[in-house]
């Protein structure tokens, strides 16, 4: 952790960004589109209006939550790919309460104030449960968390689909009815923005940041991630820490799922997680598990859907792009960063081999 490393990370990131941008520009040129104009429109669109800025912020929140949780698991060397399913379970668990809330809760008095906390807590429980299950599969069943996570992702999607196609379905489409406003995260009167959600996400992220910096728990996770055997000899309860890291990550992912149903969508529908769990994984990989970078990178990643929509809704057809191109861009970016990181690691290893040996 020194300046050279930070500079290296920044270089990798901007290099990768450059490569991804060039790639997208080439694709656009081959489709007879105008990449420069599109770039300008993208930036205008993303930063130009308060409502777009609000959209970026709100799109970043669930990813930020997932990334925060994943910082814990990645630090402990756990590839919690199951985060996507944990988001889904969070959304489902929040819906258990949300769908029962009537339009009019004026009679509820003090109880009405408990709706949101209950929904959020239940969502965290749902995500934590799913993550805990992955951890138990790993610790008791010897099933690698990646495989366990993939399986549980699959199961969570099927639970979601059977609910919205079955008992929770309202109307012809596989989705619940829109939730009553008392069940939703309170919304800013003009903007698509929930100050409460922002506060919750920032607090959660801050807590993770502090935990990794200043607590025995965070230090233990680092030790486990680097050498679980040695950590055990130093007195760390390795299994327990793995379990708790997963559970904490699941709870945060569950919260992200709650944001999806209680703010973004206002109801439960298929693909409710929308890949934000995977986005979280990508963000953490992009920043190389360096917590301080997560916030700006999450915001950056969140500009992609908002900006691509700006391009799609543009009057100027030379900048209109397909929905898939945004995803291509994200994919290209991630790939470029990973490859860049790999190259850097190789160079560093070669240099290290030459310079010193531990």
Partner 1 sequence: MLYASLRRALVVVLSAALLSVGLLAASPSAAQEEWVVGFVLVGPQNDRGWSQAHFEGSEYVKEMIPGVKTIVVDKVNPADRPNVTLEQVIENMIEQGARIIFTTSDDFGTETLAAAEKFPEVVFIHVSGSAVLEGEAPSNVGNVMGKMEFMKMVAGCAAALKTQTNSIGYLGPLINDETRRLVVSTYLGARYCYQTYRGLDPANLKFEVKWIGFWFNIPGVTADPTAVANDFFNGGVDVLISGIDTTEGSVVANQRAERGETVFAIPYDYVGACEVAPKICLGVPYFNWGPSYVRIVKAVMDGTWQSSWDWDGPNWEDVNDRDTSAVGYIFGDALTEAEKETLSAFKKGLGDGSINLFVGPLNFQDGTPFLAEGEVATDEQIWYMPQLLEGMLGVSKAD
Partner 2 sequence: MHVELHHITKTFGGLRANDALSLSFAEGRIYALLGENGAGKSTLMKILSGYQPPDSGQILIDGRAVTFETPADALRCGIGMLHQDPLDVPNLTVLDNFMLGRREGLLPKRKAARAALEQHAARLGFHLDPFRYVDSLTIGERQQLEIVRLLSLGARLLILDEPTTGISAEQKQTLFSSLKRLAAQEGMTIILVSHKLEDVAALCEEVYVLRGGKLVGHRHMPTSIDELVTLMFGQSLPPPARRQSALGEEILRAEAVSLTARRLTVRDLWLSVRRGEVIGLAGLDGSGQSDFLRACAGLQPLNGGRILIGGIPIRGKGYAELLRMGVAYAPSGRLEEGLVDGLTLTEHFALARAGGAWINWRAMTALAAEQIGRYNIRGMPHSPVQTLSGGNQQRALIALLPENLRLLLLEDPTRGLDVESTAWVWQQLLARRDQGAAILFTSPDLDEIVTYSDRVLVFCDGRATLVSDLAASTRNPAEQLGELIGGKVYEPR
Give the binding site for partner 1 (CB under 8 A): 1-3, 6-7, 10, 40, 43-49, 51, 55, 59, 157-158, 161, 165, 172-174, 178, 192, 264-265, 269-276, 292-293, 295-296, 299-300, 302, 305-306, 309-310, 312-315, 322-324
Is 248 a residue that touches partner 2 (CB under 8 A)?
A: no
- Among 7, 226, 313, 342, which residue interacts with partner 2 (rule: CB under 8 A)? 226
Closest CA to 261 of 176, 190, 321, 320: 176
Binding window for partner 2 (CB under 8 A); candidates: 91-99, 117-125, 217-225, 258-266: 217-225
- Among 61, 220, 255, 302, which residue interacts with partner 2 (rule: CB under 8 A)? 220
Closest CA to 293 of 337, 249, 349, 352: 337
- Among 83, 89, 223, 297, which residue interacts with partner 2 (rule: CB under 8 A)? 223
Token digits of residue 166: 């079955």
Q: Tell me which of partner 1, partner 2, none is bound by residue 181, counting a contact when its beta carbon lies within the kind-specific cut-off of 5 to 8 angstroms.
A: none
Cα(326)–Cα(103) distance, rounded to whole angstroms?
37
Is 215 a residue that touches partner 2 (CB under 8 A)?
A: yes
Cα(313)–Cα(51) distance, rounded to whole angstroms?
15
Question: Shortest distance, CB of residue 71 to partner 2, whole angstroms?
Answer: 17
Query: Smaller CB distance to partner 2: residue 73 or 95?
Result: 73
Cα(178)–Cα(187) distance, rounded to whole angstroms?
15
Query: Smaller CB distance to partner 1: residue 144 or 320?
Result: 320
Residue 349, H or E segment: helix 323-355
Q: What angle do CA 161, 91, 75 make, to 5 degrees?
A: 115
Is 40 a residue that touches partner 2 (CB under 8 A)?
A: no
Question: Shortest distance, CB of residue 199 to partner 2, whole angstroms?
Answer: 23
Is 290 a residue that touches partner 2 (CB under 8 A)?
A: no
- Is 37:316 a contact under the CB 8 Å cutoff? yes
Question: Shortest distance, CB of residue 134 to partner 2, whole angstroms?
Answer: 21
Question: Shortest distance, CB of residue 53 to partner 1, whole angstroms?
Answer: 8
Query: Smaller CB distance to partner 2: residue 23 or 228?
Result: 228
Query: Smaller CB distance to partner 1: residue 132 or 305?
Result: 305
Question: Shortest distance, CB of residue 3 to partner 1, whole angstroms?
Answer: 5
Cα four-point dihedral sign 321, 322, 327, 332: negative
Q: Tell me which of partner 1, partner 2, none is bound by residue 346, counting a contact when its beta carbon lies within the kind-specific cut-off of 5 to 8 angstroms.
A: none
For the chain, what's the residue count? 358
Is 208 a residue that touches partner 2 (CB under 8 A)?
A: no
In angstroms, what is the C-alpha Rg of the chain?
A: 21
Task: Name the 3-class secondary structure at 88.
Answer: helix
Q: Tell me which of partner 2, partner 1, none is bound by residue 222, counting a contact when its beta carbon lies within the kind-specific cut-off of 5 to 8 angstroms.
A: partner 2
The contacts of residue 85 (CB under 8 Å, 6+ apart) are 130, 149, 152, 153, 154, 155, 156, 157, 277
Is 232 a residue that touches partner 2 (CB under 8 A)?
A: yes
Question: Shortest distance, CB of residue 139 to partner 1, whole angstroms?
Answer: 30
The contacts of residue 293 (CB under 8 Å, 6+ apart) are 9, 286, 287
Closest CA to 67 of 306, 324, 299, 309: 299
CB atoms within 10 A of CB 226: 12
Is 135 a residue that touches partner 2 (CB under 8 A)?
A: no
Is 233 a residue that touches partner 2 (CB under 8 A)?
A: yes
Give how many residues touch partner 2 by CB under 8 A.
26
> Residues interacting with partner 2, by CB under 8 A?
214-217, 219-220, 222-223, 226-227, 229-237, 239, 353-358
């Amino acid at each position: 952790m020194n300046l050279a490393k930070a500079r290296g990370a920044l270089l990798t990131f901007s290099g990768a960004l450059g490569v991804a941008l060039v790639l997208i520009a080439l694709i656009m040129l081959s489709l007879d589109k105008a990449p420069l104009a599109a770039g300008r429109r993208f930036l205008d669109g993303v930063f130009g209006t308060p409502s777009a800025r609000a959209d970026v912020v709100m799109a970043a929140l669930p990813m930020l939550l997932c990334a925060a949780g994943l910082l814990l698991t990645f630090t402990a060397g756990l590839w919690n790919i199951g985060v996507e399913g944990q988001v889904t379970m969070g959304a489902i668990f929040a819906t258990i309460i949300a769908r029962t809330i009537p339009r009019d809760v004026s009679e509820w008095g003090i109880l009405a104030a408990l709706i949101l906390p209950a929904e959020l807590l239940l969502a965290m429980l749902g995500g934590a449960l799913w993550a805990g299950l992955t951890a138990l599969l790993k610790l008791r069943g010897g099933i690698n968390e990646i495989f366990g996570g993939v399986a549980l992702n699959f199961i969570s999607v099927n639970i979601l689909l059977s609910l919205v196609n079955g008992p929770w379905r309202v109307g012809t489409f596989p989705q619940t009815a829109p939730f009553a406003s008392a069940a939703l995260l309170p919304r800013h009167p003009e903007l698509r923005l929930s100050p409460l959600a922002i506060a919750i996400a920032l607090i959660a992220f801050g807590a993770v940041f502090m935990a990794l910096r200043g607590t025995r728990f965070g230090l233990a996770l680092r030790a486990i991630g680097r050498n679980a055997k040695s950590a055990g000899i130093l007195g760390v309860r390795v299994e327990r820490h793995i379990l708790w890291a997963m559970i904490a990550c699941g709870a945060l992912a569950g919260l992200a799922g709650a944001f999806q149903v209680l703010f973004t969508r206002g109801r439960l529908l298929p693909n409710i997680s929308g890949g934000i769990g995977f986005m979280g994984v990508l963000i953490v990989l992009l920043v190389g598990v360096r917590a301080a970078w997560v916030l700006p990178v999450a915001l950056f990643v969140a500009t992609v859907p908002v900006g691509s929509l700006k391009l799609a809704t543009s009057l100027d057809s030379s900048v209109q792009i397909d929905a898939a191109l945004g995803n291509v861009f994200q994919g290209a970016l991630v790939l470029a960063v990973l490859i860049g990181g790999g190259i850097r690691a190789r160079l560093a290893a070669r240099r290290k081999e030459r310079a010193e040996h531990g």
